[in-house]
Structure 1
């Protein structure tokens, strides 16, 4: 009897697998989209290049485009398009409905964050509650907070100059961005930058944590299982980066509990002197938000929101700064030109809004953002309506001549299709960015339209909330280090320290030790 049940289950499973496989290959709404049959048949194809060849699927996709053309079916349900001319259709302008692809979001295992919200409507509410705190006006108001950290960063670099010891700029940039993000968002203050060894350890822990995100995506039950275990069992099994995240969760929880209690005790506290938002922290703002329903103000949801904001707010500007300074030190002519522009300023300590007006500094920062790639993971968008892809002059490669006119002119994408254009494909399109891996700030001066293809902070209604804060950090740090230190040179560092060889939500380099320099 048991044997018969097993045989029946086996037979039914086999019939189902064969039937589903045939449907995916020949009767699926995306069966007309070019691509390898294995990718259309199963997600195990993606798994191989995500996990077995870790972080390499984004590069494999680029290879497949050269074989199959500018539109590609990369999983049974998802399409990737190597055509920046289609970017505004995929990443629709603000207000247009675009859901995110829940399958990809589970890699970070923090559904409570605004950046990991699948639903367009829920995202709109969460973003609206956060937007005042991330406004340009509020960043300008809190510029002294950033400047304080810039000065601390410069003092650390000066200390290495006095001691004639190499400085790990990547570690310092990580500590700087982490402190700025924490101190910008929360009432509790952090000072990781005060301890270079801790900053180095925290950066490495963060990178190690990100190395596991593909496992989370393919086996979402694993992090949920770990969370279900008592801490006394799960904690010894956690990587150091996850322990750091738990520590952040605890700090955020304490702040939230304290805020909730203070609002109950004295709900009408005068906060008129606290700047444009009138709030002590981002959570003070969110808890008072009229657009969020009560369930959106739960401790768990807000903890995840805070953790994700810190993760994104730390890594993105820190990586851009590492890329910028590697290339500045590797290209003395670029450094000389930038230093001349900065030294010609009349103001000794120019504000961020003044630095933004400098054309060459702006071009250097744009190029640094381009080659740091922002979020490297495929962040697919789902349209609620039928879309048609028509190759633009920027399609890479152009469709082969052998296709029929109808095939060359359009590919239908049914409503509900996840579609993406990765930052790797956009930022290295040779039609837009000739010699794409070269650090060439002049390209931004020669062609003002290039900003239309800059995706380091994403696009459309899901564009990064923290873009103003990140820009303020980049301008102030680059200007300060370039003007205050005449002699900076690379130390035991080559391009492997900033090269993009692995996609783990962000670009992982071949050499994880970071950009190291000697200060004269």
Structure 2
């Protein structure tokens, strides 16, 4: 019995002593201890979770971080081993380019449980290897070759608008554009659209899945074991313990089944000669690549497919929905855009290719401004350098987590005057000012980790905006910009207020009856 009490006495002495040592080391002896920031940030990363879960409307760390920079300056310590820098001039130092070695931190790479995908690759060299295998699939040439697929899906979107025009119903823009982009991504990437668009119940379930996932994000970011552990549990148990996580796990399982089916079909007799005659497919591109065989198993390619489907659909659809609002909210912008579309698309029923549409300076300006003002990806991007870096008078040792938030740059008034105003005409200037704005247009990321799907996203956005506003006129329905449009919750992707009923428009004119001549 004496030994029992001795052990407990020893633990009561050792544990507080160890904690005190850790606290003192992080506050006063850590290499980052001279960098300004809240003391709590130097002690634990869980303070961020507290802000995201319990403060305000939830997921407020994005705006809280802005406040920290207002107080402390362009560099702030936000974790025991992490600093955040808010300085547009330093973006390319951190994110770099050819020859720059940067690892991604797992807190972002593994948050969706796709550690085997390109986005989920932490190691710089592994990421480069995986990216090189799929990059040709997302090239401008590849996107151009499959443009007819996107136009076909956009025609289905127009059928939804036609239905609303005939019935007088309003269109739930956020839900409908997400369904459209999901079908477009699935059609382009897997040559097999999910056909969510047109099924109202399925569209709302798909949108609801993202809403549930967003609510889990603050916890998943801190506890990266949650999603992998959930895979080991019966789905029924997960639905009880964490119902918000169940939709994500279902998408994981569905993607794994699809990848396994494709993998087995290829393994049992499909030749490369046959495959070369088939439509492009992401799984096929990976299996036909020069990746090592261990990177071609169906579990890994399922992670690749999951990343593309989730990221490609939700981000771009949000830009599209906000573009629809801003165009309809400014009569001068809408009138000028529609006049320009009549010029480049004289027959509303015949859609020019994306290159022809992109030749329209004003349409191109509308797309750029939509991408800028929404900037979609609001999460900070944490990277780890293999060498010491220096910012101002501060040395950042190799292994330090250094993060920046590209979205801050897109709303920087020094680069984009009146940054919260939708002003496509800002992109119609020439020379040094245009070059500066293009230089800082970081909505798709920059450097080695920039989004692979940029060409597809821009092409799809251009076709969608052109078809909708050449063929129809819309009115906003009970829309309050502060509640339904502006971001007030920030996860990986910003969203409107939790009490928003959605964002709706009603078509008031249609090309089919000549009212949009």
Q: TM-score, normalised by structure 2?
A: 0.91
Whole-Å separation in 1 of the counterparts to 2:368 and 2:101: 28
Answer whether contact 1:95 1:461 (CA < 8 A) is retained: no
Tell me, what secondary structure is at the counterpart of 1:455? coil
Deviation at 1:200, TM superposition (A): 2.1
Q: What are the Cα deviations for residues 153-212 of structure 1, in whole angstroms up to 9, with x where unaligned?
A: 011101101111111121111011000111111144310002123212211221221221
TM-aligned CA distance change 1:268 to 1:351, over 3 Å: closer
Whole-Å separation in 1 of the counterparts to 2:246 and 2:191: 23
1:378 to 362, 380, 387: 380
Tell me the equivalent position of 1:494. 480
Whole-Å separation in 2 of the counterparts to 1:225 and 1:312: 22
Deviation at 1:272, TM superposition (A): 4.2
Tell me, what secondary structure is at the counterpart of 1:412? strand
Answer whether contact 1:458 1:464 (CA < 8 A) is retained: yes
- Residues 1:517 and 2:485 aligned together: no
TM-aligned CA distance change 1:340 to 1:380, over 3 Å: same
Tell me the equivalent position of 2:4. 2
1:29 to 25, 28, 31: 31
Q: What are the Cα deviations for residues 111-136 of structure 1, in whole angstroms up to 9, with x where unaligned?
A: 11211211101101111111111111
Deviation at 1:491, TM superposition (A): 0.3
Residues 85-100 of structure 1: pairs in structure 2 closer than 5 A: 85-100=89-104
- Residues 1:466 and 2:466 aligned together: no
Residues 216-295 of structure 1: pairs in structure 2 closer than 5 A: 216-239=220-243, 242-243=246-247, 245-247=249-251, 249-274=253-278, 280-290=280-290, 292-295=291-294
What is the total number of aligned residue pairs between the two structures? 495
Whole-Å separation in 1 of the counterparts to 2:109 and 2:270: 39
Whole-Å separation in 2 of the counterparts to 1:351 and 1:386: 48
Tell me the equivalent position of 1:431. 414
Whole-Å separation in 2 of the counterparts to 1:195 and 1:16: 58
Whole-Å separation in 2 of the counterparts to 1:164 and 1:246: 36
Whole-Å separation in 2 of the counterparts to 1:513 and 1:94: 45
Deviation at 1:459, TM superposition (A): 0.7
Output the aligned Cα RMSD. Answer: 1.9
Residues 85-484 of structure 1: pairs in structure 2 closer than 5 A: 85-239=89-243, 242-243=246-247, 245-247=249-251, 249-274=253-278, 280-290=280-290, 292-345=291-344, 348=347, 349-390=351-392, 410-446=393-429, 447-448=433-434, 449-484=436-471
Answer whether contact 2:235 2:246 (CA < 8 A) is retained: no
Deviation at 1:263, TM superposition (A): 3.6
Out of 248-257 and 460-469, give the one that drifted further.
Answer: 248-257
TM-aligned CA distance change 1:172 to 1:384, over 3 Å: same
Deviation at 1:81, TM superposition (A): 1.0
Answer whether contact 1:170 1:318 (CA < 8 A) is retained: yes
Q: What are the Cα deviations for residues 245-278 of structure 1, in whole angstroms up to 9, with x where unaligned?
A: 524632542343334333432424434444xxxx
Tell me the equivalent position of 1:404. none
Deviation at 1:107, TM superposition (A): 2.5
Answer whether contact 1:206 1:241 (CA < 8 A) is retained: no
Out of 174-183 and 343-352, give the one that drifted further.
Answer: 343-352
Whole-Å separation in 1 of the counterparts to 2:176 and 2:449: 29
TM-aligned CA distance change 1:203 to 1:512, over 3 Å: farther
Answer whether contact 1:188 1:255 (CA < 8 A) is retained: no
Answer whether contact 2:215 2:244 (CA < 8 A) is retained: no
Whole-Å separation in 2 of the counterparts to 1:72 and 1:240: 33
Whole-Å separation in 1 of the counterparts to 2:412 and 2:272: 54
Deviation at 1:512, TM superposition (A): 4.6
Answer whether contact 1:97 1:120 (CA < 8 A) is retained: yes
Tell me, what secondary structure is at the counterpart of 2:402? strand
Whole-Å separation in 2 of the counterparts to 1:180 and 1:242: 24
Tell me, what secondary structure is at the counterpart of 1:482? helix
The answer for unaligned runs of 5 or more in structure 1 is 391-409
Deviation at 1:244, TM superposition (A): 5.9
Answer whether contact 1:35 1:73 (CA < 8 A) is retained: yes
Whole-Å separation in 2 of the counterparts to 1:305 and 1:341: 39
Q: TM-score, normalised by structure 1?
A: 0.91
TM-aligned CA distance change 1:247 to 1:97, over 3 Å: closer
Tell me, what secondary structure is at the counterpart of 2:314? helix
Tell me, what secondary structure is at the counterpart of 1:110? coil
Deviation at 1:480, TM superposition (A): 0.5
TM-aligned CA distance change 1:10 to 1:354, over 3 Å: farther
TM-aligned CA distance change 1:360 to 1:10, over 3 Å: farther
TM-aligned CA distance change 1:490 to 1:124, over 3 Å: same
Deviation at 1:89, TM superposition (A): 0.5
